[in-house]
Amino acid sequence: MSTTVLDARGIRGVRFWASTNGKKAVMAVTGAILFLFVVFHMLGNLQVFEGAEQMNFYGLALRRFPEALWAVRIILLVSVIAHIWASILLAVQKKKARPVGYEKRKNIASDYSSRTMYWSGPILLAFVIYHLLHMTTGTVHPNFQEGHPYENVVAGFQVWYVSAWYIFSMILLGLHIRHGAWSAFQSLGANHPRHTPLLKKAAMTLAVVVTAGYISIPVAVMLGLVR
């Protein structure tokens, strides 16, 4: 492949990234990657309902393949950075396009989840950092036991304010997924007047299932169903 062809493709790539549609496409693709992780992570965490032996075996199985685990972590880290950076650039572009605010703002075409995307994102990032320090490294978990995820989950969620913070963050995650999934459908050109109601229902269903799955764990611990 000639240098000229590579240069041409590089220029097209830069132009695509510079465009609004390019940034939206990056957000859609990285959002899909992060969503897949969220789903698989939820399925793994729900094994807490199968008891300590199964949950701890799951945790051990993850650590048996450190190369694969670190590969996934790197992909997720790159996706998070690209997702955040694209969202910031889009927000800046939007602000530059309309530097003067509306005299009277009317949220006709937007819903609550879409209006909270920009501030729910930073809160979710703060939650992820706390969650890693709490359940992965044990830095802020006073009863952390290395290699015992079941015991760590139970002891961690028995603290009411930890559970409250987790539940609040998962509700924000649901709102983020609901609007993000719908926006991804639009960015990737999948929306159509005939399909719009179905796509909106699909986005809502994904958000509800993920939110309910995650929230069920601290609620079960607080109610003594998991102990």
Domain contains 216: yes
Domain contains 24: yes
DSSP annotation of 195 reads T
Count how many domains the chain has: 1
Domain contains 13: no
pTM of the model: 0.81
Concatenate the DSSP letters of all residues of 151-165 into one string. HHHHHHHTSHHHHHH
Return the pLDDT at 216: 97
Average the pLDDT over each of 82-96, 176-190, 212-226 and give the range with the smallest value: 176-190
Q: Which of 88, 21, 123 is nearest to 131 (CA)?
A: 123
Domain contains 103: no
Domain contains 12: no
| Residue 56, number of CB atoms within 10 A of its CB | 18
Q: Which of 38, 12, 30 is nearest to 85 (CA)?
A: 30
Cβ atoms of residues 40 and 196 within 8 Å = no
Q: Does 41 or 12 have the greater pLDDT score?
A: 41
For the stretch 209-213, contacts whose Cβ atoms lie closer than 8 Å and that sit 24 or more positions apart, written own/partner, are 210/38, 210/39, 210/42, 210/170, 210/173, 210/174, 210/177, 211/170, 211/171, 211/173, 211/174, 211/177, 213/42, 213/43, 213/45, 213/46
Task: Write the pLDDT tens digit of every residue in 103-151.
Answer: 444 444 455 555 666 677 788 889 999 999 999 999 999 999 998 999 9
Cβ atoms of residues 135 and 156 within 8 Å = yes
Domain contains 10: no
User: Domain span at residue 210?
Assistant: 18-95+110-222
Domain contains 182: yes
What whole-number distance in Å separates Cα of residue 35 and Cα of residue 199?
16
Domain contains 40: yes
